[in-house]
Amino acid sequence: MNGPFTPKKVAVAIGVSESSLKRWCDKGLIDFSKTAGGHRRISLPSVVQFLRTSKHEVIQPHVLGLPPANGARTKPIENAQADLKQLLLSGDEKAARAAILDYFLAGNDIACIGDRLVAPVFHDFGRLWENGEVEIFQERRACEITVRVIHEMRTMIPPPQPDAPVAIGGTIQSDPYVLPTNLVDTVLASNGWNSTSLGTMLPFDTLLSAAIQYRPRIFWVSVSKAPEATSFVDEFNKFQQDLPSETALVVGGRALTESIRSQIRYTAFCDNLSHLESYAESIVPPKSIVPLKSIVPPNRELSKN
Ligand code: B12
């Protein structure tokens, strides 16, 4: 991971004076640590959180290892779908990364990026695949690229507070789909949760072992591939019954049809990541996330410095 950076480096990247940058640190607008010698050091997640909340643009992004802004951030996120689709189809990882990260750095929620940019683009790949208009390798490569970008955003999220609520989850044995569970994980992490995606294709007994070991407040299960086994409903309901009593079982995914949902027991079903965000906030208010949103002053005050 890039960083930690000196205030000077961050100042150069943002295009402000080093003294302004240090003042923002001392006012608590940018989180920092100190070296043994007493010098301020700023981690990449702290810089990114500042950029996302203050809406400052990076003038020299390469200094921080970030991609250049592509100007898309001022337009509705839906406008980026067509471009991202082409970039992913042609395997242009650099530009696809820049397109997604630009919206992230501009302060868009991960839920919004997932629901309104990534998911629609992949739904379209599904349609193209059905019509034979896309090679399988293009779809798989698009998945590889996107999961790498999601992981990169994940590394830019500040670590959870020690008392952050725990969330874990993944996909069931029949389900190889990596994007939804990684998005769920990143959404919860960005909301201050101590979140971990366990991965894909996990048997119920190992999901249960994880729940018993970590006693999470939320356990999510993403189901994108319709379960074939007739024993699915029984296995799922046994899993739900054996979960720790404090654990909310949150489910989602396009394969959880109404007919399946009517047979299984869970705490909440979410159509999308925005629903998840609202649900998570309702059960544990986001007090444990570093509350930068509330301490960022109006832009006027920032530009005075
Ligand atoms: C990529 C892809 C694959 C890849 C996945 C690679 C990987 N490692 O992830 C691979 C190659 C494995 C694959 C295989 C197959 N696939 Co496929 N695949 C897709 C595709 C194009 C994208 C899936 C995706 O990642 N979407 C992006 C995510 C982010 O969107 P999403 O799943 O809708 O998730 C959103 C919400 O549902 C919600 N959500 C999801 N989960 C959760 C969980 C929680 C807790 C919460 C809160 C929210 C939530 O939030 C997300 C963001 O909004 C879809 C098209 C589509 N419509 O999605 C087809 C699609 C799902 N596949 C399909 C098919 C047919 C197959 C195959 C059977 C093809 C074949 N003949 O081999 C195989 C089955 C493989 C298997 N073993 O199961 C069909 C399914 C049709 C059906 N009726 O079930 C689809 C719809 C394509 C199509 N139009 O025909 N596939």
- Tens-place pLDDT, residues 34-62: 999 999 999 999 999 999 998 888 999 99
Determine which helix (DSSP H) or strand (DSSP E) holds 33, and give its type and residue range: strand 33-34
Mean pLDDT, residues 108-130: 96
Question: What average pLDDT is seen over the chain?
Answer: 91
Cα–Cα dist 239/216, whole Å: 14
pLDDT value for 304: 40
User: Which tops the pLDDT comparison, 131 or 294?
Assistant: 131
pLDDT value for 287: 59
Q: Is a pLDDT exceeding 70 seen at residue 1?
A: no
Q: Is a pLDDT exceeding 80 seen at residue 305?
A: no
> Which amino acid residue places its CA nearest to atom 24 of ligand 1?
122
Name the H helices within the chain.
7-14, 18-26, 44-54, 81-89, 93-105, 110-113, 119-130, 136-155, 178-190, 204-214, 232-242, 258-261, 273-283, 292-295, 299-304
pLDDT value for 286: 65
pLDDT value for 223: 96
- How far is ligand 1, taken at its centre, from the CA of residue 73, in Å? 27
- How far is ligand 1, taken at its centre, from the CA of residue 177, in Å? 6
Query: Residue 68 — very low, low, confident or very high, per pLDDT cuts 50/70/90?
Result: confident
| Ligand 1 binding pocket includes 143 (Cβ within 6 Å) | yes
Mean pLDDT, residues 137-166: 96
What phi and psi, each to the nearest 5 degrees, are found at residue 250?
Answer: -110, 125
Determine which helix (DSSP H) or strand (DSSP E) holds 170, and give its type and residue range: strand 166-172
Q: Is a pLDDT exceeding 50 seen at residue 291?
A: no
pLDDT value for 296: 41
Please choose, from the candidates 233, 137, 151, 159, the residue with its C-alpha nearest in 3D space to the C-alpha of residue 199.
Answer: 151
